[in-house]
C-alpha cells in the first residue's frame, strides 16, 4: 500500500494489489475520519495501524464514497467507527452486498474475514458537513459510476475525494453516462487544489482541467461508437473494433485494466441506450438460423 500526505492532516492511500483503488484519512487533534477502505483486509488494517499506532488516534468515522466492494468491505476493520454514506449506498449493500461477498469468498478465502457493516448515518439529497479538528468536510451526491457515489470536499484545502466519479478512465457499467458527464463538469468548476480519484494517482491543480477534458472526450467518443454500432446488424462487431486507445486513453491505466474496463463500458452503454445486448456476427462453427440472410452493411 502506498501512503502520501495530500495536505496538512490529509492522507491518501493507494492499493498495490487491486486496481489502484484509493482511500483517505483526515486527522484532527483527538480523532480521525477515514474515507473508504481498500480491497483486501490487510490493506484496510494497514490504514488502521497507521492512524492508531503511528498517529495514536482513534478512528471515529468511516465515510464510504459508494457501495462497491473495493471501497466499503473494509468497514468491519474499524469496529468503533460510525459509518457514513449516501442512503442509496446502504440500500445497495442490503440488496446485493451479502450475495456478492459469498461469491467473492469462493475466489478469495481471505475475504472470510470480511463482514459487511452497513452505514449507520446516511443522507441523500443536499449535503452533510463533518468537522474534523480545523477541517470542514462537506459530503454531497456525485453520481455517475453508480447512483450512490458521493464526493467529500476538504474545504480548507480544496481537496476533493471524488470516489469513482473521477478515475483515470471513467467507468459507467454500474452507473449512467449522463450523470457521469454532469459530475465531471461540476468537479471542473469547483476550484480544486487536488482530486483524489477513486482509483489511480492524485490529480494536481495544473492537471485538473486537462484530465476533466480528457474524461469528457472519452465519454463522447464511446457515445459515438455505440451510436454507430446501433445502425449495424451486428453491433458488437463494431464495438470490438474500437480499443481504449482509439478513444484517447492509454491501456496501462488503472493497473493495466483499462482495455477490459473500456470493453465493458461500450457494451453497458449499448445496453443502457438500446435495451438489449449487442449482437455479434455468427462465427465459423456457430449455427444461427438467419445465417443465410446476409445483409450488406451500409456505410
Which residues contact Zn ion by CB under 5 A? 68, 164, 198
- Other beta carbons within 10 angstroms of residue 96's beta carbon come to 12
- Beta bridge mates, 11: 5, 25
The smaller minimum CB distance to Zn ion, of residues 41 and 168, is found at 168
Count of alpha carbons within 13 angstroms of residue 155, beta-carbon side? 13
Residue with C-alpha cell 461500450? 266
Task: Work out how close the CB of 255 gets to Zn ion at its nearest, in angstroms, rounded to a whole number.
Answer: 12
In whole angstroms, the minimum distance from the beta carbon of 197 to Zn ion comes to 9
Q: Classify each residue of 125-148 as buried b or exposed e, where b means 16 or more C-beta atoms within 10 Å of its C-beta.
A: eeebebebeebebebbbbbbbbbb
Nearer to Zn ion, 68 or 90 (CB): 68
Rounded to a whole number of angstroms, the minimum distance from the CB of residue 145 to Zn ion is: 7
Q: State the nearest-atom distance from the C-beta of 282 to Zn ion, in Å.
A: 36
Q: Which is nearer to Zn ion, 84 or 238 (CB)?
A: 84
Q: First vs last Cα of the chain: how many Å apart? A: 50
Residue 135 vs 259, nearer CB to Zn ion: 259
Minimum Å gap between C-beta 191 and Zn ion is 25
| CB closer to Zn ion out of 151 and 198 | 198
**Helix %, strand %, coil % for the chain, to 5?**
40, 20, 40
Cα separation, 71 vs 21, in Å, equals 8
Partners of 163 in the β-ladder? none
Amino acid at each position: 500500500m502506498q501512503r502520501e500526505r495530500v495536505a496538512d492532516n490529509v492522507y491518501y492511500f493507494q492499493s498495490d494489489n487491486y486496481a489502484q483503488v484509493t482511500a483517505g484519512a483526515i486527522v484532527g487533534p483527538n480523532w480521525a475520519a477515514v474515507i473508504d477502505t481498500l480491497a483486501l483486509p490487510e490493506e484496510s488494517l494497514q490504514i488502521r495501524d497507521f492512524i492508531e499506532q503511528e498517529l495514536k488516534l482513534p478512528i471515529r468515522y468511516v465515510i464510504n464514497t459508494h457501495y462497491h466492494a473495493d471501497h466499503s468491505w473494509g468497514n468491519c476493520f474499524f469496529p468503533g467507527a460510525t459509518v457514513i454514506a449516501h442512503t442509496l449506498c446502504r440500500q445497495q449493500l442490503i440488496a446485493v452486498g451479502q450475495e456478492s461477498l459469498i461469491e467473492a469468498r469462493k475466489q478469495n478465502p481471505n475475504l472470510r474475514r470480511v463482514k459487511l457493516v452497513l452505514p449507520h448515518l446516511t443522507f441523500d439529497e443536499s449535503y452533510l458537513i463533518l468537522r474534523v479538528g480545523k477541517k470542514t468536510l462537506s459530503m454531497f451526491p456525485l453520481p455517475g459510476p453508480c447512483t450512490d457515489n458521493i464526493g467529500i470536499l476538504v474545504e480548507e484545502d480544496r481537496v476533493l475525494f471524488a470516489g469513482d466519479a473521477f478515475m483515470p478512465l471513467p467507468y459507467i457499467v454500474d452507473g449512467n453516462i449522463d450523470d457521469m458527464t454532469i459530475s465531471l463538469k461540476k468537479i471542473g468548476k469547483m476550484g480544486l487544489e487536488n482530486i483524489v480519484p477513486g482509483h489511480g494517482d492524485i490529480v494536481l491543480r495544473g492537471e485538473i482541467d486537462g484530465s476533466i477534458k480528457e474524461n469528457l472526450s472519452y465519454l463522447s467518443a464511446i457515445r459515438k461508437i455505440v451510436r454507430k454500432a446501433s445502425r449495424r446488424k451486428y453491433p458488437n462487431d463494431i464495438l470490438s473494433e474500437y480499443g481504449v486507445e482509439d478513444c484517447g486513453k492509454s491501456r496501462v491505466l488503472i493497473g493495466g485494466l483499462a482495455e477490459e474496463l473500456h470493453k465493458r463500458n461500450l457494451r453497458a452503454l449499448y445496453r443502457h441506450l438500446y435495451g438489449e445486448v449487442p449482437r455479434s456476427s455468427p462465427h465459423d462453427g456457430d449455427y444461427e438460423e438467419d445465417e443465410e440472410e446476409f445483409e450488406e452493411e451500409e456505410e
